[in-house]
Amino acid sequence: MDREDLATQFAALSTTELLEIVDRKFDYTELAVTIALEEIARRNVSEEDIKGYKEQQIAKVKTFISKNYLDDLHLSGKIFFFFIWIPLLNFPFRQNFRDDDYILKLKQARYYSLMGFIFIMLTGLGSGLYNLSNLTAFTIWFLSFLPAYAIDESLNRKRLIRRLNAMFSPPQQSDTPIDPPDDESSDS
């Protein structure tokens, strides 16, 4: 593609799209970035427009962090996926998380479904081996949610926070953890 074709194509782009090209300049050729800068200059893009673009980018990063690390399942959702672990029954809920890009919620839904399945199998095996009553077996399975919850809150959550620190903290500040806000509770 020559300079004139690229200039014609970039003239049809929105200002936001041009700013994205300049912002991600290492993804484009030097010619593409130069033409994008020329088109931005030709349009007399104001500092307010650039500031607005940067604010949009910051909002996107905050949304990404929130959906991937901070917005976890409520306690009722964790209980639901633990006890309704059959994929056919909980698929629509997991699909909603996938469609809305809630990666953490999707991972937690899978985790609690798997733990629910594992614990019901262990409870069934133990019930068969030790001739437990149905009520006792159900009580054991019901209480097995507590260790699954503790593991999720302690190990899984800490691993995700470490990953977040590695992605967004500068090297000299990597020992400063990024924690979820104190007022946000996974139980509400």
Instruction: Please give the span between the terminal C-alpha atoms of the chain, in angstroms, as a whole number.
Output: 55
Q: Are residues 162 and 94 in the same domain?
A: yes
Q: Are residues 49 and 82 in the same domain?
A: no
Of 4-8, 113-117, 172-176, give the lowest mean pLDDT range. 172-176
Per-residue pLDDT, 173: 46
Q: Is the pLDDT of residue 172 over 60?
A: no
Q: Are residues 57 and 19 in the same domain?
A: yes
pTM: 0.61
Phi and psi torsions of 183, nearest 5°: -80, -10
What is the total count of domains within the chain? 2
In a domain, 68, yes or no: no
Q: Are residues 91 and 11 in the same domain?
A: no
Q: Are residues 78 and 140 in the same domain?
A: yes
Q: Are residues 54 and 84 in the same domain?
A: no
Q: Are residues 85 and 46 in the same domain?
A: no
Q: Are residues 102 and 163 in the same domain?
A: yes
Q: Are residues 81 and 160 in the same domain?
A: yes
Per-residue pLDDT, 123: 94
**Burial class (CB within 10 angstroms; exposed 0-12, middle 13-18, buried 19+) of 140:** middle
Residue range 39-88, pLDDT digits in tens: 999 988 888 988 998 999 888 888 887 777 777 889 999 999 999 999 99
Residue range 45-54, pLDDT digits in tens: 888 988 998 9
In a domain, 77, yes or no: yes
In a domain, 50, yes or no: yes
Could you tell me the residue range of the domain that residue 161 belongs to?
A: 73-173
Dihedral sign (CA 99, 102, 108, 112): negative
In a domain, 67, yes or no: no
Q: How many CB atoms lie within 10 A of CB 28?
A: 15
In a domain, 181, yes or no: no
